[in-house]
Amino acid sequence: MKTGFIAVAGRPNVGKSTLVNALCGGKVAIVSDKPQTTRRRVHGIATTDDYQLVLADLPGFQRPRDPLTEHMQRTVDSAFDDVDGVLLVLSARERIGAGDRFVARRVFELGAPVVIALNKVDRLKPGHIATQMATASRLGDFHALHPVSAKTGDGVGELREELAGLLHEGPLYFPEEQRTDLSLEVQISELIREKALAVTRDEVPHAISVEVESIDDKVVAANVLVETESQKQILVGRSGSMIKQIGTHARPEIEQLLGRHVFLELRVKVRPRWRRDEAMLERLGL
Ligand SMILES: Nc1nc2c(ncn2[C@@H]2O[C@H](COP(=O)(O)OP(=O)(O)OP(=O)(O)O)[C@@H](O)[C@H]2O)c(=O)[nH]1
Ligand SMILES: [Mg+2]
């Protein structure tokens, strides 16, 4: 059996989490069209008869602005110790520029093999893809470069085999059927946060955090935390319509995770400046 860890690096929003989900063949990490969706390291595990590939999905590289983003960047930095390779993800839909070069410099200096995934090639013209591949190839001395679409699955199988080729003989790190290392509580809070991100915009998504209070036989209770009263009003919505919508979207996925029907009890609470509150960050596991 070949096993090992691959860290997934890249700018925010390039599709790292979508790609990790595609590589694992199931949802392990939440996704949104807002940058800085991923706040903690998530291990996505793909096990076959021949190998166990453990992908560390990470927050995007960023300049820290507050204790939360500081913690996130620290999570990124510490994830590069002891990996068998790095998957550097780029977005083919955007200009490959200074931000990508900054991430590239950091990952190429590790000395581990770097596989570049040029993501989001769906609906791009072949000529455009070729140009982006040429630019990507100048980022550093890469092991392999794969154009992929995490969304359609194009090229994902080949990329998975490429990454499996970087693994070494060794014991399984996780039971065969396990797909993520997140606790049930965290998986549920992430699912709720994903639905809350989908219906909010501007500064609001960044101010949202979710804390699961209890998981009973019939009821899952969770608090959606925001920083201000006006953010709370947005999340609650007109006579509770917004929070209801978040619950309606989250509940089926939570039920699938738990394998039973539950009532989802969501409360919106104001926690002023929780992103700057070390005790609160620790409580949220961030
Ligand atoms: N068209 C297209 N969109 C994609 C693809 N992969 C991801 N996306 C979209 O890109 C956005 C960001 O995806 P994420 O997977 O959350 O990106 P990320 O790099 O994990 O972002 P952070 O966690 O914020 O750093 C979402 O709207 C995805 O649906 C792709 O292959 N094609
Ligand atoms: Mg992500």
Q: pLDDT of 38-86, one tens digit each?
A: 999 999 999 999 999 999 999 999 999 999 999 999 999 999 999 999 9
What is residue 80's predicted lDDT score, i.e. its pLDDT? 95
What pLDDT shows up at residue 14?
A: 98
Ligand nearest to the CA of 120: 1
Alpha carbon of 217 to ligand 2 centroid (Å): 31
Angle at which helix 241-258 crosses helix 229-236, to 10 degrees, equals 70
CA 133 to the chain's CA centroid: 24
User: Residue 52: helix, strand or coil by DSSP?
Assistant: strand
Residue the block writes with tokens 């100048």:
138
Q: Compute the C-alpha angle 127/157/15, nearest 5°.
A: 65
Contact 130, 159 (CB under 8 A): no
**Best substitution site from 16, 18, 93 to test ligand 1's pocket, by max atoms within 8 Å of Cβ?**
18
Q: Which tokens belong to 78?
A: 């510490």
Ligand 1 proximity of 193 Cβ (cutoff 6 Å): no
Cβ of 151 less than 6 Å from ligand 1: yes
Residue 33, ligand 1, Cβ within 6 A: yes
Quick one: pLDDT at residue 213? Answer: 98
Residue 201 has what pLDDT? 97
Residue 32 identity: S
Of the bound ligands, which one is closest to the alpha carbon of residue 62?
Answer: 1
Within 74-148, strands assigned E span 85-91, 114-119, 144-147
**Which tokens hold the place of 88?**
């550097």
Structure-block tokens of residue 164:
């499996």
Residue 62 Cα to ligand 2 middle (Å): 13
For residue 91 and ligand 1, the question of a CB distance below 6 A is answered with no
Six-digit token pair at 89?
Answer: 């993800």
Whole-number pLDDT of residue 175? 97
Instruction: For residue 225, give both structure tokens.
Output: 């935390």
Q: Are 167 and 83 in contact (CB under 8 A)?
A: no
179 in contact with ligand 1, CB cutoff 6 A = no
Q: How far is the CA of 72 from the centre of ligand 2 (A)?
A: 11
Q: Is the CB of 147 under 6 A from ligand 1?
A: no
Task: Give residue 19 CA to ligand 1 midpoint distance, Å.
Answer: 8
Q: Determine the Cα angle at 27 with ends 137 and 105, to 5°.
A: 25
The closest residue, in CA terms, to atom 25 on ligand 1 is 12
Q: Where are the beta strands (DSSP E) in the chain?
A: 2-9, 42-47, 51-57, 85-91, 114-119, 144-147, 168-169, 209-215, 219-226, 263-270
- Decide: 38 in ligand 1 pocket, CB within 6 A: yes
pTM above 0.85, yes or no: yes
Q: What are the residue ranges in the chain where pLDDT is below 70?
A: none
